[in-house]
Amino acid sequence: MSTHEAHDAVDVIRTKRDGGRLSDAQVDWVVDAYTRGVVADEQMSALAMAILLNGMDRAEISRWTAAMIASGERMDFSSLSRPTADKHSTGGVGDKITLPLAPLVAACGVAVPQLSGRGLGHTGGTLDKLEAIPGWRAALSNDEMMRQLEDVGAVICQAGSGLAPADRKLYALRDVTGTVEAIPLIASSIMSKKIAEGTGALVLDVKVGSGAFMKDAERAGELARTMVALGTDAGVHTVALLTDMSTPLGLTAGNALEVRESVEVLAGGGPQDVVDLTLALAREMLAGAGRGDVDPADALRDGRAMDAWRRMIAAQGGDPDAPLPVARETEHVLAPADGVLLELDALAVGVAAWRLGAGRARKEDPVQAGAGVELHAKPGTVVRAGEPLMTLHTDTPERFARAREALADAVAIAPEGSRPADRPLVIDRVAAG
Amino acid sequence: MSTHEAHDAVDVIRTKRDGGRLSDAQVDWVVDAYTRGVVADEQMSALAMAILLNGMDRAEISRWTAAMIASGERMDFSSLSRPTADKHSTGGVGDKITLPLAPLVAACGVAVPQLSGRGLGHTGGTLDKLEAIPGWRAALSNDEMMRQLEDVGAVICQAGSGLAPADRKLYALRDVTGTVEAIPLIASSIMSKKIAEGTGALVLDVKVGSGAFMKDAERAGELARTMVALGTDAGVHTVALLTDMSTPLGLTAGNALEVRESVEVLAGGGPQDVVDLTLALAREMLAGAGRGDVDPADALRDGRAMDAWRRMIAAQGGDPDAPLPVARETEHVLAPADGVLLELDALAVGVAAWRLGAGRARKEDPVQAGAGVELHAKPGTVVRAGEPLMTLHTDTPERFARAREALADAVAIAPEGSRPADRPLVIDRVAAG
C-alpha cells in the first residue's frame, strides 16, 4: 500500500468495527481505492463484515452508493421524448414479470430502459429467459439501446461493464466471504446500478418468503426502506412493493416456459397472480413517471402491450413467432393424496427447476432453454391422489432424481374444506416520506 | 477452492457472523485450510472480524489454539533434569524484565526457555535489547537451545519458524485488516506459541495503561483470564499478573540503555519498580514450577543471578564485559516548572524512543543499539524548572525534533505537596479456578 494515500484502510475498518460512522472522505476513498486495487480484498472483506454487523446510517449508505456510481459511467436518457421508468426485482421463483411489464409500460407512453442480469442459483435471470427466443440477443451498444428506447419504448438488455464497476468487484468478494447479507451493501449494490442507469422513476419489487433472498418481512421491509431512501436521495422517484414469494409466481419456472406464460399474459390471459403483479408494478411505474392517469389494463386488453412486445423482441433480433424450445424429456410429479393443496414451496420449486437445467451454479455454466417446472395446481386448488401436480422438463433425464429430491417436502395437502393461509400478493408499499 | 474439501469457508464465516459457535471440526478445518492456502486471506479476514465482534467461548478458543499448535512442531523439555517456567509480557515501555528475570529464575533451579521476538512500534523487543551486547546472537538450533538450558538453565532466543506457523500467517493478516484487537485471537496467538514451546509453567505479565496494548483494566483482565484458561486447558500451569504501564518501567527505554539497567538490577541495584516486578514474576515462575520454597531475592543479593546472566550471554557468543554501544548525540528535555512530577506518560516516552531509533516501523527496519530515552525523574519526584527531566539519545540528531513532539504532552507537574495517583505496580493476579 502506498504511504502517499491520504487515508489508511485499517483506520477505515477500525472506525466501522468500533461502531463509528464513516466520513464522506473515508467512504469516497475506500471505494475508489478498492476499485484501484490499493485497498486489498482481505481489507475490504473485513470492512464488509464490520458493515454487516454494525450497519451504516442513511447518509453513509447514500455516500457509499454515490462512490460506487462514481467508479464508472452514467447513462443519460434526458434527450428522450418520453419519461423513463424501470423496475427491479430482488429475485423470485417464476418471476417473469419484467417480460410482460416492460412492453406494457412502453405501450402506455413511458420508456423502460431495463438493464438485466443472468440467473445464479434458484432464481432465474431475465436475460436467460429471453435468450430462449430464437435469435434474440442481450448485448446492445449504448447507441442501439437509445435508438430502441426512442423507437419501441422498451429495451431489456445486458448491463454494460461500465456501470458501477466497484459493485461488480465487491459483489464477487462478498459472495465468497459470507458478507452478501448486509442490507447496506445489498441496497447500495442494487441502487448504484439503477441510479447509474439514469432512469427517472424506479419501482422495486422486494420479494418476501421461502423463494426470496429475504425470508422474513421485517428484513425485506428494511431493505425496501433503505433502497427507497437511496433512490430518493439520488433524485430518482422510487417506490417499493413488498410481494409474496412463499409460492412460485404463475404456473411456470424455467426459461422458455416462462416466456410462453408471459406471452399468454400479453395476449390477455395467463395466471391471475402474474397479471395482478404486472398491473400493480405498471401502475407504480406510470405514476412515478408522471403518467398516473393511464390505466395499463387497457393496453393489456386491446393488444397494444403485445404489439410493443413483438417490436421489442424483433428489434433485438428475436423472432416473436418462432416456436419456443421444448425440453426433450418430461416427467410428472403426482399428488400423494386427495385434498386441498395448502402449500407449494417456492424455494423447493426453484431448486428443482435449477437442478433440471434452467439455472446455473456458476457464472460460466450454460442453461437449458426448455428445462423447468410446470405447475398444475397452486395453493387453494383441490387435487386428487395420483393426478399430476407438476411436470418436470429437462434435456438431461439423469437430472430428474435430484429435482424430485428438492421437491420432497415442497407440497402440503390438507383435507377438503381446508384453506391455505391468506397471503396477499402485495404485502406492503414503501414510498419516500 | 476445491469442492472436495469437507467444509466450506462461507459456512464457517456465516456461523460466527450469525453469533453461533464454531464446532471442533469447523475450527480444525478452517485453521488447517487457511495454513494450506485453501481458505483465502479475504475469507479469513472476514472470519476474524466476525470473531472480533461476536466473540468465541472458552472451548472454541482452546480448540482454535490447539489447531494453531497442530499447524507446526512442538518442543519437548521433558528430558531436562530441571522443571521449566517461562514468562510472557504483552509489551510495555521500558519493559526489560525478561533480561534480569530469566537468569534469576535459572539461578534458583528452574530452567527458563524464553523464545522471544523483535519489537514493532513503540514497545521494544527483547531480542533487539540483547543484540546491543557485542557478539550476542539470537538464533539457536533446537539442540543448542537444549544444551544451554541444561548447562546454564536459561536461554533467550529467537522463536523458530516451526512453532505455530498458522499464527504467523494469521497475525500478518490481522495487522492489515483491523482485526488485531480481538481478545480470542490475541490470546490464542500468544498461547499457541507458548504451549507449543513446551514450558511446564507460564507467567503472563499483562500490561495495563497508556503504554500497553490494553489501555483499560477491564479488557486486560479479560485477556488475562482467557489466556490463563487456555494454558490451563492445555496442561500448562499458568498465572497472570496485571501490571501498571501508565508510566515507563525503570528509568530507561531503548536497547543498550535497558541492558545497562538490567545489569544494575542483577548487581543488586537498579530502579525499585524493575526490581519489584522482576521478583514478583520470579516468585510466580518458581511457584508454578514447584519451587515456591525458594526466595529469588537471595539469588539477586548473593550474585548467583549475575553469574547466570554472564554465562547465558557468553553461551550465545556475547561478551558480558564489553562496553555497551552509546548513542552519538544526546539532548536534554528540561522541566518546565518547579513542582512534583505527577505524570510521565508511558506511550509518549515509548513513541519518543521509537522515533529516536530504538524501535522499528516495519519488520525489516534496523534499530539503533544506543538510541532511546533516559529518565531522570518518575511520578512523585520533586523537580525544578530548567533541570533535565529526560535525556534523549540517538545516532541521528535529525530525529530529536519528532521525539520532542511525541513528548509534548507527556509530562504533568503540580505544585509541591501534590501527590500522583496511587497506582500499584501489580494491579491484579489471575490464576486458574
Q: Which residue is listed with cell 409460492?
A: A247
**A418 at B interface, C-beta within 8 A:** no
Answer whether residue A211 shows pLDDT above 70: yes
- Kindly identify which residue of chain B lies nearest to residue A49, measuring between CA atoms: B46
What confidence score (pLDDT) does residue B124 get? 75
Give the global pTM. 0.88
Q: What is the pLDDT of residues B401-423, one digit of tens each?
A: 999 999 999 999 999 989 988 88
Span B117-134, average pLDDT: 85
**B26 at A interface, C-beta within 8 A:** no
Q: Which residue is listed with cell 430518482?
A: A236
Q: What's chain A's average pLDDT?
A: 94
Span B266-293, average pLDDT: 97
What confidence score (pLDDT) does residue A204 get? 98
**A41 at B interface, C-beta within 8 A:** yes
Find out whether B87 and B231 touch, Cβ atoms under 8 Å: no
CA angle B14, B20, B24 (to 5 degrees): 95
**A17 at B interface, C-beta within 8 A:** yes
Which residue among the candidates B118, B168, B193, B393 is catalytic per the annotation?
B193
What confidence score (pLDDT) does residue B354 get? 94
Answer whether residue B3 shows pLDDT above 50: no
Answer whether residue B66 shows pLDDT above 60: yes
Span A254-278, average pLDDT: 98
What confidence score (pLDDT) does residue A108 get? 98
> Percent of chain A having pLDDT more than 70?
98
Is there a contact between A45 and B43 if contact means CB atoms under 8 Å apart? yes
> Percent of chain B having pLDDT more than 90?
86
Q: What is the pLDDT of residues A83-141, one digit of tens each?
A: 999 999 999 999 999 999 999 999 999 999 998 877 667 777 899 999 999 999 999 99
Q: Which of A260, A244, A195, A232 is nearest to A393 (CA)?
A: A260
What confidence score (pLDDT) does residue B120 get? 67
Least confident of A66-75, A356-365, B22-31, B370-379: A356-365
Answer whether residue A256 shows pLDDT above 80: yes
Which residue among the candidates B86, B128, B167, B273 is catalytic per the annotation?
B167
Find out whether B35 and B169 touch, Cβ atoms under 8 Å: yes
What confidence score (pLDDT) does residue A120 get? 67
Q: What's chain B's average pLDDT?
A: 94
What confidence score (pLDDT) does residue B5 get? 62
Q: What is the pLDDT of residues A129-184, one digit of tens each?
A: 999 999 999 999 989 999 999 999 999 999 877 888 899 899 889 989 999 989 99
Answer whether residue A381 shows pLDDT above 90: yes
Contacts 24+ apart (CB under 8 A), A137-143: A137/A316, A137/A317, A137/A318, A138/A316, A140/A316, A142/A75
Span B141-163, average pLDDT: 91
First to last CA, chain B: 43
ipTM of model: 0.85
Q: What is the pLDDT of residues B17-26, one digit of tens each?
A: 999 999 999 9
The structural domains of chain B, ordered by start, are 9-70 (1.20.970.10), 85-161+168-321 (3.40.1030.10), 329-414 (3.90.1170.30)
- Kindly identify which residue of chain A lies nearest to residue B40, measuring between CA atoms: A42
What confidence score (pLDDT) does residue A5 get? 63
Catalytic, A174? Answer: yes
Chain Cα centroid distance, residue B194? 12
The contacts of residue B118 (CB under 8 Å, 6+ apart) are B125, B127, B128, B360, B363
